[in-house]
Homo-oligomer: A and B are copies of this chain.
Amino acid sequence: MKLLLINPNISDSVSALIGAEARRTAAPDTEIDVMTAPFGVAYIETRFEALIGAYAAAQLAAEHHARFDAVIVAAFGDPGLPGLREALPCPVTGLSEAAMASACLLGQRFSIVAISQRIRAWYRETVEHAGLLGRLASIRGLDEPLADIGHVQGDQGERLVALAERCVADDGADVIILAGAPLAGLARSLRGRLPVPVVDGVSSAVRHAESLVALQPGKATQGSFAPPPSKPHQGLPDSLARLLTQR
């Protein structure tokens, strides 16, 4: 099985974290390929940055999906995921929805621990769009500027643990999601440190993508995730254009 993980941001250091955690998680016969967006920002905290990341992810997915069994949008917030689920013939998932799927199998209410204050609004909307606000206990975020997005785990590890503990003690969280690709792998290194199950987006996405491939549920030919109906288009990169016309 071959999985394509798309980092919709430009940070090669984060792509390296993503790839490392994906490979630690994947089945022995699963190949992992991580691609980094050729344009965009270092990491997504806002709706505007997500809009850019969605388009970058769509271009990479359109160009490369044919060689893979499944595609993972490897940023929390899952920019571009709903559209790609319509357009691609293979299963697609993202860090947010995969992490939330894991969390929902481990407890009733989850909290999200994130890398900044600003990012919380966008994460909250991600949970809301998934229809899961009723299971969200809280979202807490670091409140300092990040010196280096590739080293946030090392720089801020203890602060992240403290945030998670408050989610459990004060907010009623049954499960903690450590959110954002820059935290990929942190759940693994914190094993045993937290009083509730801890979920990581990358490893959840890899496992769930493998499951979707294995379960072979089929691709929609009707309903709202069937490929978009054929209609005139213009000016698009070839790869996107092909997705709109091949059925």
Which A residues have a C-beta under 8 Å from some C-beta of B? 10-11, 25, 27, 37-43, 45-52, 54-55, 58, 80, 82-87, 91, 93, 97-98, 100-102, 104-109, 116, 118, 120-122, 124-125, 128-132, 134-135, 168-169, 172-175, 187, 191-192, 194-200, 203-204, 207-208, 211-212, 214-226, 228-229, 231-236, 240, 243-244
Contact = CB atoms under 8 A, between A and B. Distances in A.
Contact of A134 (B58, B87, B131, B168): B131
A196 B222 contact: yes
A237 B229 CA distance: 30
A97 B233 CA distance: 26
Those 9 A-B pairs whose CB atoms lie nearest each other, nearest first = A39-B235, A121-B224, A48-B83, A131-B134, A197-B217, A195-B222, A51-B83, A55-B55, A207-B211
Q: Which of A47, A82, A129 has most chain B Cβ within 10 Å?
A: A47
B58 A215 contact: no
B134 A129 contact: no
Given A134-B131, A236-B39, A172 B121 contact: yes
Given A40-B235, A198-B218, A232-B41, A224 B122 contact: yes
Given A121-B224, A174-B225, A82 B218 contact: no
Nearest to A173: B223
A98 B212 CA distance: 12
Contact of A196 (B104, B223, B240): B223
A68 to B, nearest CB: 16
A214 to B, nearest CB: 6
A118 B224 contact: yes
23 contacts: A10-B232, A10-B233, A37-B235, A39-B234, A39-B236, A40-B233, A42-B232, A45-B229, A46-B86, A46-B229, A48-B228, A52-B240, A85-B106, A85-B107, A102-B212, A122-B224, A173-B223, A195-B221, A195-B222, A195-B226, A196-B221, A196-B222, A197-B220
Contacts of A58: 48, 51-52
B215 A102 contact: yes
Contact of A43 (B216, B226, B231): B231
B105 A80 contact: no
A207 B214 contact: yes
A47 B10 contact: no
